[in-house]
């Protein structure tokens, strides 16, 4: 089996990147994580990747005059490592249309909400302010408009009454780690493919049951 040579772009902690690296240790996983790039040299995720023997590059965006110049340097690293698929994992830079076009249908992102709701930053506080009972996370194919694009997979996560942004973020993050590993598996294997602006999943294992939030107190309700 040839595995898809994959790069992960991060800006910080890198816990989603680490989840992808763990998943890709399975011999039958269809993607191989061969490069981790951070636009912030101090990103904790760079150390985690290096500990796993993965090539890392810190490409400090503040050292470039323009977005295009920064991206040209990123592209050079991706080319040098013969990358076929890019995963954004907490990568907090806006990318140009040109870069996104170069990676059309070959770049995916994780966002900590049930898209298209709550795009952008400060997601969990806005979820709480909106008073919803279910939030979640989404992995999607990247399109030029921020946090849009065909959704590969989503997880629904309950909001509870005494949540604050921190407790909610932690609950969603646990789901993110599992979701991203699964979504990358589906996408890299070709089982999830773009059709129009939707994702079609081959051999989809039916539908999961509904998530009720708050949960019913009795199992027969």
Quick one: which segment of 32-40, 61-69, 77-85, 104-112 binds ligand GAR (CB under 6 A)?
104-112
The phi, psi pair for 56, rounded to 5°, reads -125, 150
Please tell me the distance from the alpha carbon of residue 60 to that of residue 25, in angstroms, as a whole number.
29
165, 124 in Cβ contact below 8 A?
yes
Q: Cβ closer to ligand GAR: 10 or 186?
A: 10
Q: Is 36 in a helix, a strand, or coil?
A: strand
Tell me how far, at minimum, the Cβ of 43 lies from ligand GAR, in Å: 8
Tell me how far, at minimum, the Cβ of 2 lies from ligand GAR, in Å: 27
72, 65 in Cβ contact below 8 A?
no
Is position 117 an interface residue for ligand GAR (rule: CB under 6 A)?
A: no
111 among known catalytic residues: yes
Residue 90: C-alpha distances to residues 11, 194, 213, 218 (Å): 6, 23, 27, 39
Is position 176 an interface residue for ligand GAR (rule: CB under 6 A)?
A: yes
Residue with token string 């921020």? 146
22-51 binders of ligand GAR (CB under 6 A): 45
Tell me how far, at minimum, the Cβ of 118 lies from ligand GAR, in Å: 10
Considering only 6, 15, 39, 56, the residue that binds ligand GAR (CB under 6 A) is 15
Among candidate residues 61, 111, 124, 177, the one labeled active-site is 111
Q: Cβ closer to ligand GAR: 93 or 102?
A: 93
Residue 116: asked if its preceding bond is cis (omega within 30°), the reply is yes
Considering only 8, 36, 90, 188, the residue that binds ligand GAR (CB under 6 A) is 90
Residue with token string 């990147």? 17
Biggest alpha carbon–alpha carbon distance for the chain:
62
Known catalytic residues are: 111
Residues forming the site for ligand GAR (CB under 6 A)? 10, 12-16, 45, 89-90, 110-112, 173, 176
């Amino acid at each position: 089996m040839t595995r898809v040579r994959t790069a992960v772009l991060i800006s910080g902690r890198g816990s989603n990147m680490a989840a992808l690296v763990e998943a890709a240790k399975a011999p039958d996983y269809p993607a191989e994580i061969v490069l981790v790039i951070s636009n912030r040299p101090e990103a904790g995720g760079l150390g985690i990747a290096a500990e796993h023997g993965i090539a890392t590059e810190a490409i400090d965006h503040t050292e470039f005059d323009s977005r295009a110049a920064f991206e040209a340097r990123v592209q050079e690293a991706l080319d040098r490592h013969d990358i076929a698929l890019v995963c954004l994992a907490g990568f907090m830079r806006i990318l140009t249309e040109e870069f996104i076009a170069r990676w059309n249908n070959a770049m995916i992102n994780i966002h900590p909400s049930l898209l298209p709701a709550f795009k952008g930053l400060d997601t969990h506080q806005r979820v709480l302010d909106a008073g919803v009972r279910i939030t979640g996370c989404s992995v999607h194919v990247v399109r030029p408009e921020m946090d849009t694009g065909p959704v590969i997979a989503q997880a629904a996560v309950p909001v509870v009454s005494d949540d604050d942004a921190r407790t909610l973020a932690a609950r969603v993050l646990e789901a993110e780690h599992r979701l991203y590993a699964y979504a990358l598996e589906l996408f890299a294997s070709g089982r999830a493919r773009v059709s129009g602006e939707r994702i079609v999943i081959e051999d989809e294992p039916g539908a999961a049951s509904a998530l009720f939030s708050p949960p019913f107190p009795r199992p027969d309700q």
